[in-house]
Structure 1
Amino acid sequence: MKFKTITLSSVVALGLATTAYAAEDQIRFDGFPDFDSSLKVILPDFEKETGIKVDYLMNNHGDHHTKLTTNLATGSGAGDVIVVDVEKIGPFVASGGLVNLSEQYGVDKYADRFAPYAWAQGKGADGSVYGIPVDLGPGVMYYRRDLFEKAGIDVNQAIKDWDSYIKAGEELKKHNIQLIASAADVAQAIIFTTVPEGEGLYFDKDGNPVVTSERFVHAFEVAKEIRDKGLDSRILAWSNEWYEGFKQGTFATQLSGAWLLGHLKNWIAPETSGKWGVSDLPDGIYGSWGGSFLSIPTQSKKQDEAWKLIEYMTMRRDIQLKSFATIAAFPANVTTYDDPMFQEPIPFLDGQKARLLFANVAKNIKPVAPAKGDHVARSIILENALMEVLDEGKDIKTALQEAERMIKRRTRNL
């Protein structure tokens, strides 16, 4: 999951972090918003049940992971429980700074409680588990019902395939409405959700880059067609312009994880309640769009207490569901999926029973094993090569070939 701007906990600031160890049964949780909203709800009962006091430190998504990279490299400064985004779990596990949860706490016996693809992502090359999935990001399309109605578009027809999606964008444009904030999100969706069996997101099983394959060419081609036809707003996610676009209805769809619902209704655009709907991704694809893991740094002096909090947040149905209700963090624990909550209509989505859709997507996602070079490849592909194609008109195959050479060079010593 990705979240908004820096928020510090009410109790802990960086300069006071060492005080978390002053109390005998006190630990610190390091994460990013909106985890703080969830912790405010679930921690009182945890502290009452266990006698373990939990302080928490929140930084924005990027700063949180940058700080953790330094903490794990230097062996100091990390909390006792840390949140790791799915994009970072591979390199963080490879760093050697996380506790082997299979060896220390025998977590392998819990595998069947979790979505198989997410459980696989928390493993290292040795087959041991280093991160327990706490939430998933089933990939979906959020769309403005009112804007689709204004343009006379049937959402089911619009998501039939990418050509239909683009055609919907052309109809929306006639009404001065953009199809999507950024064409780059479409490329990301295709890259993330059409991984052939035996491949990773960016590498094959032998560690060779696969970024010049048809999957990447197709993703770039669809995104470029959207950009060339003027159907996107050229707005990147998590910018002020992006937030404003949701509020003003300047674009009609957003491809994202199920978790976006929590952000839309809680802080991005609460005033748009009832105007939204959610559907499967276009072209019949299923995939993960984000997700988070809980890990314990080896530097922690309170590993057993930390594990109790991870158990509480991931193994307990009621707590997973409470977080789901609070911040729309879709449960990683599949034993929750028969809960009546999934049948409840969601007012923000005009009464749609969207959690059933989220669960169906989660069940259809195939495992994709992370690689230690994923973060490097992602940056080169999505932030460099794709932007050169979309913004500068660079030839797609040339951009991908150059990206492959750069990925090989930068991952040689990982």
Structure 2
Amino acid sequence: MKRILGLFVVLALGNAAQAATLTVNCFSNMNVSVEAAIPLWKKLHPDVDIKVNTLAYGDHHNALTTALATGSGAGDVDCVEVGFVAKFGESGGLEDLLKAPYNAKQYQSKVTAYAWAQSTNPDGGLYVFPADIAPGTLFYREDVLKKAGVSAASLTKSWESYIAAGKKIKEKTGAYLLHNAGFVAQAYIRAKVPAGESLFFDTKGQPVLNSARFVQAITLAKQVRDARLDANIAEWSPEWTDGLNKGRIATQPFGAWFEGTMRSMIPETAGKWRSVDLPEKSYATWGGSFMAIPKQSKQKELAWEFLKFFALNKEVQLNSFRVNSSLPSLKAAQSDALFKQPVEFLGGQVARPMWVRAANKVKGIESNRLESVATDAFAAALDRVLNNNVAIKTALDEAQSTVARRLNR
């Protein structure tokens, strides 16, 4: 009897030794998609557990910065937002997925083109893999526009007609065109990126924050502010939520993923919103998530299996969209019947084909390691113009100098 019991103990220990736990470090919101994929993963890999560690967006990326610099603290798989792709790629702490044993180039045709371009570092390496995409769109309150006698077409004909529509909306209803004038500038710079350039840098990697694109972007934003068409409040603030909820904000340019956010943030407005392309049928990207394998991972083969499972499995990508409105980067998922269904929150509008079309019209632009620095510099310039009456050229020249100094260190 003791010999049999001993055999059971040995077998139990043997099974425990074979079990594995894969750690995925994520930022909040994307963790919802990862956690939703675990039951599907367990069906294929019952002997491998997934542990998801979640931090707030900024905290996660700060922690990953430290982990890659020190060689300790990263996950087996780490989530990365688009603004940090090049920075982490140049850190030397991530696996190049184009190299063996990953050989990710074979999957390029399966992924939305602009997302693949974003994944590629200036050195030609692929240190992250696209997980979801975020084409830009313009959400608007159908009830507010009807009350103002404004058509959706007037919002999209041009950037100038968008502002003109805002004046009529304000006059007829008292509602603001949008929560903050700066978002007009943010939408414009994303929608007007010249071929070959990235959001803030030219083809040679030099900053372009004082170029004509940025001058026009802030000019439009200032027109909105001077006409008092924005509420001058910050996104994610209680005032912003309240304004969206009560119809005091008529439009919201953002990534298509924001439809899912609104569903949980302002559920009582369901059916009142619609979505259209950005003005002038502009196509832009507004966010996007990726996955990377840190070199310090002790389970790289398993990590690669999970990354492929998450990014290249149609059902996983669709499930992520269902729970989190994360638009799939996988082309095969974008053609699913799910995308042709009416969107209840948008009053039954069949909006998803429009978002997919927009995503596949976005120009492929590479990321830059100083993108987060340039983002902050441009935001500071916007703030100085809109809130401190600094001249546009002065503010943008200073933003340009700030990024150029960092680039030349």
Interval containing the TM-score (normalised by the shorter chain): over 0.9
Q: Could you tell me how far apart the structure 1 residues matched to 2:122 and 2:170 are?
A: 48
C-alpha separation between the residues in 2 aligned to 1:368 and 1:206? 13
Deviates more, 1:327-336 or 1:123-132: 123-132
Post-superposition offset of 1:41: 2.6
* Residue 284 of structure 1, CA deviation: 2.0
* Offset from partner CA, 1:310-333 (integer Å, 9 cap, x none): 111111111111111111100101
- Indicate which of 235, 247, 256 corresponds to 1:249: 247
Q: Residue 47 of structure 1 is aligned with which of 38, 42, 45?
A: 42
Relative to structure 2, which stretch is displaced further, 240-249 or 181-190? 240-249
Q: Distance in 2 between matches of 1:201 and 1:98?
A: 23
- How far apart in 1 are the matches of 2:249 and 2:178? 5
1:380 — aligned with what? 377
Query: In 2 relative to 1, CA 23–275 (structure 1 residues): closer, same or farther, beyond 3 Å?
Result: farther
| Stretches of 4+ aligned residues off by more than 3 angstroms | none
SS in 1 for 2:217: helix
Give 1:81's match in structure 2, choosing from 73, 77, 82.
Answer: 77
| 1:266-277 paired onto structure 2 within 5 Å | 267-277=264-274
Match of 1:210 in 2: 208
**Match for residue 3 of structure 1?**
none
Q: Distance in 1 between matches of 2:34 and 2:289?
A: 15
The answer as to whether partners of 2:35 and 2:52 remain within 8 angstroms in 1 is: no
Q: How far apart in 1 are the matches of 2:97 and 2:196?
A: 26
Q: Which residue of 2 aligns with 1:12?
A: none
Amino acid at match of 2:79: V
Look up the match of 1:11: none
Match of 2:347 among 337, 342, 350: 350
The percent identity for this pair of structures is 39
1:63 aligned to 2:59?
yes
| Alignment-mate amino acid for residue 112 of structure 2 | A
Given that 2:158 and 2:279 are in contact with CA atoms closer than 8 Å, whether structure 1 keeps it comes out as yes
1: distance between equivalents of 2:151 and 2:117?
37
Cα pair 1:25 1:305 within 8 Å, conserved: no
Which residue is equivalent to 2:166?
169
What one-letter code is carried by the residue in structure 1 that aligns with 2:243? G
Indicate yes or no: 2:25 matched with 1:25: no
User: Which residue, 288, 292, 295 being the options, matches 1:295?
Assistant: 292
User: 1:397 Cα deviation (Å)?
Assistant: 0.8
Structure 1 equivalent of residue 309 of structure 2: 312
User: How far is the alpha carbon of 1:195 from its aligned partner?
Assistant: 1.1
Q: Secondary structure at the match of 1:293?
A: strand
Q: Does 1:399 align with 2:381?
A: no
SS in 2 for 1:179: coil
* Contact kept? 2:189, 2:199, Cα under 8 Å: yes
TM-score, normalised to structure 2's length? 0.93
Matches of 1:44 and 1:116, distance apart in 2:
29
What is the rounded CA distance, in whole Å, between the counterparts of 1:36 and 1:91 in structure 2?
22
Superposed CA deviations along residues 94-126 of structure 1, whole A, max 9, x for unmatched, are: 111111111131100000001111101112233
How far off is 1:241 after superposition? 2.2
Structure 1 stretches of 5 or more lacking a match? 1-21
Q: Which amino acid aligns with 2:228?
A: G
* CA shift for structure 1 position 338: 1.9
Instruction: In structure 2, give the amino acid aligned to 1:257.
Output: G
Task: Tell me which residue corresponds to 1:219.
Answer: 217
Indicate the residue corresponding to 2:258 in structure 1.
260
Deviation string for 1:10-63 (max 9, x for gaps)?
A: xxxxxxxxxxxx985101111123223323332012023112100111112111
Distance 1:241 1:39 in 2: 31
Q: For structure 1, which segment, 321-330 or 245-254, has the greater mean C-alpha deviation from structure 2 after superposition?
A: 245-254
Give the aligned partner of residue 137 of structure 1.
134
Counterpart code for 1:204: D
2:331 aligned residue:
334
Aligned residue in 1 for 2:157 = 160
Moved more, 214-223 or 187-196: 187-196
Does the 8 Å CA contact 1:117/1:365 hold for their aligned counterparts?
yes
Letter in 2 for 1:33: S
1:387 is displaced (CA, Å) by 0.5
Whichever residue aligns with residue 350 of structure 1, its letter is G
1:131-176 CA-partner distances (Å, limit 9, x unpaired): 1111000100011111111111101122110111111111121211
Shift in Å, 1:249: 2.0
Give the whole-Å Cα distance in 2 for the aligned partners of 1:296 and 1:244: 40
Encode CA deviations 1:176-217: one digit per residue, 9 max, x unaligned: 100001111110111112111222211222222211111000
Change (3 A) 1:240 1:28: farther
Instruction: Tell me, yes or no, if structure 1 residue 94 matches structure 2 residue 94.
Output: no
RMSD: 1.4
Aligned amino acid, residue 256 of structure 1: F
Of 304-313 and 202-211, more deviation after overlay is shown by 202-211
Rg larger in structure = 2
1-side partners of 2:408 and 2:241: how far apart? 38
CA contact (8 A) 2:148 2:169 kept: yes
The answer to whether 1:366 aligns with 2:363 is: yes
- Structure 1 Cα separation of the partners of residues 310 and 205 of structure 2: 34
Identify if the C-alpha distance between structure 1 residues 24 and 411 changes in structure 2 by more than 3 Å, giving closer, same or farther: farther
